[in-house]
Amino acid sequence: MSGTVYSAADILSGGELLTALTPPARLSVVGDPVAHSKSPVFHNAALQAAGIAARYVKIHVRPAELPATLRALPAAGFLGTNVTIPHKAGALATVDEADDYARKSGAVNTVMVDAGHLVGFNTDGPGLLRAIREEFAADLRDLRVMILGAGGGAGRAIAVQCAMENCPRLVLVNRTAEKVTALASELAPFFHRGPADRIVAIPHDVQSLRKELARIDLVINATSVGMKETDDPLVPASLLTPNLLVYDTVYASGTSRLVADAAAAGARAANGLSMLLHQGALSFEIWFQRPAPLDIMRAALLSVS
């Protein structure tokens, strides 16, 4: 059943179809598209392991349908939902309240239903933090970081997390430079000590990348580029060096071009499966106020990857 994709209409109609499942659907991921999501596989393994009589499903929701769909979750008997592309900003605008990190990130990727109210959280940054520790045995607070696609969505959330961790240096990269220039100004108070260029915003071009990569430890791709084999390279292979750590939040296509090019250059590289896993574990902890069965979730995710 993890491959089944439901529609917004299945929630808006009262959720009878979903609650009739055994066990009933009580959690979901909403997105457009959403068919590729691997979240149901490891969330349903976690629910079963924890003895929770609930199912996690995929729901295809178009942007215009998002507010009404989220508002319909309580009446449909849902405990909450995850939110993926392109709905994270829309979810923040829809929930009744959101935690401080979600507000700073400008996005919500986890919604909890609490006594009929919608409470928003963002696990992108904390999930990335745990993933970097797992993949590279390193902490963001010790790394000079470059974020590709820092202008919105997961990229902005990761940038906020890096700032909160007070990483030594943060380089924000975006094709629309104005977006990251504004974000750099917003995050500048976190970098008030030390050199003036501890936080930098640059356009996504070869000359700018070449100049900054010499002073970077970790490169993070927060764009969707790399989901298709025909996508252009985000970083020219000639600029990748063995001293770099490279983390690509893309996971849908297996090994992305960025990860392949980094590995060929001798750099340590990983895709976004570990971030997905830790985001999911954090969501589980939000919904159920107990530790997530991480090993079981990891085994389930790896079984379909």
Model confidence pLDDT, tens digit, residues 239-289? 999 999 999 998 866 688 899 999 999 999 999 999 999 999 999 999 999
Alpha helices by DSSP H, listed for the chain, are 8-12, 16-19, 39-49, 66-71, 88-94, 100-105, 124-136, 153-164, 177-187, 206-213, 257-264, 273-288, 294-303
DSSP 8-state secondary structure symbol assigned to residue 65 = G
Task: Give the chain's count of helices (H) and strands (E).
Answer: 13, 13
Active-site annotation, residues: 88
Mean pLDDT, the chain, rounded, equals: 94
Q: Indicate the pTM of the whole model.
A: 0.93
What percentage of the chain carries pLDDT values higher than 90? Answer: 87
Token pair in block for residue 69: 């769909």
**Which residues pair with residue 203 across a beta bridge?**
174
All structural domains of the chain: 5-122 (3.40.50.10860), 125-274 (3.40.50.720)
Token pair in block for residue 80: 């909450």
Look at residue 252 in the predicted model and tell me its pLDDT. 64
pLDDT band at 230 (very low <50, low <70, confident <90, very high): confident
